[in-house]
Each structure stands twice: as structure tokens, then as C-alpha cells.
Amino acid sequence: MEYSPEVKRRLKLPERAGLMPDPASPFVMGDAEDRSLNVWVRFQVQLHDGTIGAVRFEAYGCPHFVAAADWHAERLEGCPSGALAEPDTRAVRDVLDVPTEKFGKLLVIENALVACATEVAA
Amino acid sequence: MTTRDVYLDYAATTPVDPAVAEAMAQCLGRDGDFANPSSAHCFGQAAAHRVEKARTQIAERIGASADSIIITSGATESDNLALQGVMHACRERGDHLITARTEHKAVLDTAAALERQGFEVTYLDCASDGLIDPDALATAITDATVLVSIMHLNNETGVIQDLAVLGERCRRHGVLLHADAAQSIGKVGVNVAEWPVDLLSLTAHKVYGPKGVGALYVRPGVPLVPLMFGGEQERALRPGTLPVHQIVGMGRAYEIADPAVEAPRLAALKERLWAGLSGIDGARRNGHAERCSPHVLNITFPGVNGESLRLAIAEIAVSAGSACNAETPESSHVLSAMGLSDALAESTLRLSLGRYTTVEEIDYVVGRITAEANRLRGLSVSAPAWCRS
């Protein structure tokens, strides 16, 4: 399996991995998993006046999966909360050079972010 | 920590030993024994002499006579020749083959091809420690059974089957036994003079010999038909010009590969490796604790994705399971047969040690895998239980 430098960098140092640094500040949370693909992910997202603040994630999966979760977390910070409902899966696929057989894992990440959006709407 | 390259994938292949390379070089140039060994002239006869010496070296390593050794391109071809050659040769007698779910693809895919040709195949389960139950084998044998094919030393787990006992069950029922011993040479003793084994697949490249050459031991009298046609070489069972330098390399490699010399050192290194890695929370060793190779360690780290771990320690050459399966996304069929879930199978590394592995390398690997396994596990502390079970 070949990995892009971006995947290697994000697996080695996933800057937004972990739990919310300030749990006292309210945040929404969304999980998704696919046991057949052997992946699980959870996002924690802080919101300030309709804008996404800090984003943190936990992920169990292959290097592309972890890197994709980290990429989404980074990209979402500072975006309007509506961005949670429309994750740019095509962009992350291209940036990380994700192989075709792993596209399904990216949809699991999308599901977790949409779950966050659903919680925001609620 | 400064990283360093470490090769711990000797079960996938080995570098050629310098003594082997030197012997091979003597058969390549115009001043060497390069000629076609089937030629009657003096050049050809010199090459033929080299081939026969190598054949003897191969035979002596497994307790066989030289005339029972058929040169092939490797263990995959040997497995094909053994299974297809015997089943077709004995079709009048029966059409039933027995093998195990933990076999190498070279056997499983050949068995599947035989099924498509109308043969019946039974796939034996194994216990959670990887061992085949001799009674289950005996129960599976029918009047139509011709051949049983069981790997001696499993390439993924290192589990060693008791060929003496399994072969005795076969003999009792008048059934032939084939064994793939590609991983065995130089690590454990192999003796077909004492074992009730009728065919044995061998290769050079797992034993510090060249790639592209192997052999099939065939006990005298075992019926076998060829898969290829076009010459009288190897008693017409494997036609084609003999690659003298490859065969000489294999012979020299087998001469050097003495398990009495190598196994104790490898076993000590493996135990040092396991002692270090067992400190990782939840780490489990797969395969029978005693009936195992001195050079293969198969470990599961629950909650740590194996692919991510392999990339995180990219400077260390390890395998997910069989190198032959490395490009396919499916989890190991061997570990699945032993009862591991897909999640656990995908959290597994095969580390295989060899002639050039050092204590310093083992200690470095323990440190790196421990650090990275713990770091990766920290990325998913809230993950559901199925990720760890």
C-alpha cells in the first residue's frame, strides 16, 4: 500500500486528535462506525454563535481514515455550523490520494459529521 | 528517537547468503559451469555434475535420496505439481482431497482449481492454537480419499503440525500425505526417512537461497503426472532447461541451513521480542506456545489498527500476515480459521526473525512498537468494545 506524504504526516502527528481541551465549554458530538470496514470515529465540535470553534476527533482505523478525520477537523474550524452537514468528501479523497477501495471509509466520517450537524439542529 | 531500518520479515523472503551467491557466481560466466546440463559435451557434464551435487545437498537436508528430488521454480509450483499431479494420476482410484483452512494460498487455490475440475475437497478446521486434530483428519478420510495436504510450519503463525502423527493416520487408511515445508528448512528438523510423508514442497528463497527455484520431494513409487510438457528433464515430470546457478544456490543454501545451529539463537531472540512486546496492554501471541517455529512471532494488539501500526513503524519491515496476501484487503484466513474476529486479525503483526537479526534490533523494535501501539491506541480511547475484541 502506498501512502501520500500528507497521510503519513497526519498519522504521525494528528493535531486535532483527542478530547475537547475545554470540556466546560458546550460542544456537540457525533459518532459513526462500520464494523465490516473496521472503522469507528467520533467528533467533538464546539460552536460559538453559529461558527465552529475547536474540533477534536477520536478514530480507530487505517492511516487514510485517521488522516481524513484529522483533515476534516482542521478544515471545519472557523466554518459556519452548516458545514458539518456538508463534509467535502471529494476534497479529502483528492488531498489524501485515498484509494478506491477505501472510499466507503470516508463516508463513515461523513456520517459522524452529519450526526454532529443533526445534534446542532436539535 | 533516531530511527533505523530493521528487517523482520524473513518468513516472506531472505537475502542470499554470501556463500550461496559465491557458489551461484561460479555457474554464470564463460569460465564457469554455465552450460546446459542436458548436453553431452564436457561443458554440459560439468554443469550436470553441479546440479547433481546440489540435488544431493537438498536431499540430505531432509533425509531423502537424491533421486527423489524434482527441481521446480519454487514451493508454489511444487504444491501445484503435488496436488494436481497426484490427483490426476490417481483419478481411477478416487477423487477426494483433504487439506486445511490454514494452508497457504498455493495449496488452497490449487485445491479450488481441482474442485472446478470435478474433484471433491474437504477443508479441515483447526483448533484455536492452529493445530489440526489427527482424529478429525481420520474422520474426514473416505474410500475416495487419495491425498492429504497439510502445511508443516505455518507461514503466518509459525505453528508446526505433527506430521508424524498425521502421516500415521494417512498410512493407516492408505492415503498419501503431502506437506508444504517452505518455511521449515533451517528452523526445524525435517526427516522424510522417519516421517510418513510422501511428498514435500521446498523452496530456496526462505533459506538464504535465490528466488525462482524450489523442489518437490516425491517418495519412490508415488504416482505423479506432469503439469507441463516439452522435455525429459526431471524424469519428464518438470521439463525445461535446468537453471544451474539457481539449483546450485539452493543446494548450497540447504547445506548451510542447519537448524541445530540456527534454531536456538532464533528462539532466544524471539522470546526476547515477545518478552518485550507482551508488556503492551492486551498483547496476545497467536498459535500453539510449544509447537511453534523459532523464527515467527504472530502478535495481536487489541485496539490498535494493524495497518496504521505498520505505517507508524515503517522503518521496520514486518507483515500483516502472509506477504502473499499483503495487497488484498481481506483479513488473514489463517487467523480467521483460528477463531480471531476481523478486528483482532487486522490488529495483528507477523514478525519473523532470521540469520542476520541482532539483539540490538530486537530491543529497538520492542521500543518502537510499544511507543507507537500505545500512541495509536490513544487516538481511540472511547472506541466501542468491538474494536478490541
- Any idea how long chain A is? 122
Does the pLDDT of residue B261 top 90, yes or no?
yes
State the pLDDT at residue B329: 53
**Hey, which CATH number is domain B18-256, 3.40.640.10, 3.30.950.10, 3.40.50.300, 2.40.280.10?**
3.40.640.10
pLDDT in tens, B108-163: 999 999 999 999 999 999 999 999 999 999 999 999 999 999 999 999 999 999 99
Give this prediction's pTM: 0.93
Comparing CB atoms, the residue among B311, B382, B387 nearest residue A8 is B311
State the pLDDT at residue B58: 98
Three-state SS annotation for A47-81: EECCEEEEEEEEEECCHHHHHHHHHHHHHHCCCEH
Q: Could you list the active site residues of B?
A: 324
Q: How confident is the model at residue B330 (pLDDT cuts 50, 70, 90)?
A: low
Does the pLDDT of residue B326 top 70, yes or no?
no
Test the A interface: residue of B342, B379, B387 with most A CBs within 10 Å: B379
pLDDT digit string (tens) for chain A, length 122 residues? 889 999 999 999 999 999 988 777 889 999 999 999 999 999 999 999 999 999 999 999 999 999 999 999 999 999 999 999 999 999 999 999 999 999 999 999 999 999 999 998 88
Comparing CB atoms, the residue among B303, B308, B380 nearest residue A62 is B308
Neighbours of B269 (CB within 10 A): 21
pLDDT in tens, B48-91: 999 999 999 999 999 999 999 999 999 999 999 999 999 999 99
Give percent of chain B with pLDDT exceeding 70. 97
Q: Does B356 touch chain A (CB under 8 A)?
A: no
Q: Does B386 touch chain A (CB under 8 A)?
A: yes
Domains of chain A (ranges plus CATH)?
Answer: 5-121 (3.90.1010.10)
Decide: B24 and B210 in contact? Cβ < 8 Å: yes
State the pLDDT at residue A81: 93
What's chain B's average pLDDT? Answer: 95
State the pLDDT at residue B321: 60
Residue B77 and residue B39: Cα distance in Å, rounded? 25
Does the pLDDT of residue B37 top 70, yes or no?
yes
State the pLDDT at residue A21: 81
Q: Does B374 touch chain A (CB under 8 A)?
A: no
State the pLDDT at residue A90: 92
State the pLDDT at residue B338: 95
The percent of chain B in helix, strand and coil, each rounded to the nearest 5, is 40, 15, 45
Cβ A38–B312 below 8 Å, yes or no?
A: no
Sorted by where each begins, the domain ranges of chain B are 6-15+258-388, 18-256
Q: Residue-wise over B326-345: b if at least 16 C-beta within 10 A, else e?
A: eeeeebbbbbbbbebbbbbb
Residue B16 and residue B250: Cα distance in Å, rounded? 10
Q: Distance between terminal CA atoms of chain B? A: 32
Give percent of chain B with pLDDT exceeding 90. 95
Name residue A73's amino acid.
Answer: A
Please give, rounded to a whole number of angstroms, the shortest distance from the CA of A34 to a CA of chain B. 11
Please give, rounded to a whole number of angstroms, the shortest distance from the CA of A64 to a CA of chain B. 9
Contacts across the A-B interface (CB distance below 8 Å):
55
Neighbours of B367 (CB within 10 A): 12
Cβ A58–B381 below 8 Å, yes or no?
A: yes
pLDDT in tens, B189-200: 999 999 999 999
Question: What class, spelled out in words, does domain B6-15+258-388 have in CATH?
Answer: alpha beta
State the pLDDT at residue B174: 96
Name residue A14's amino acid.
Answer: P
State the pLDDT at residue A26: 86
C-alpha cell at B69: 528430488
State the pLDDT at residue B322: 44
Please give, rounded to a whole number of angstroms, the shortest distance from the CA of A17 to a CA of chain B. 6
Going by C-alpha positions, the residue among B187, B176, B180, B163 that lies closest to residue B102 is: B180
Alpha-helix residue ranges (DSSP H) falling in chain B: 18-25, 42-61, 75-89, 105-116, 134-140, 163-172, 244-256, 259-277, 306-312, 333-337, 342-345, 359-377
What are the C-alpha distances in Å from B77 to residues B101, B107, B205, B217, B220? 20, 10, 14, 12, 20
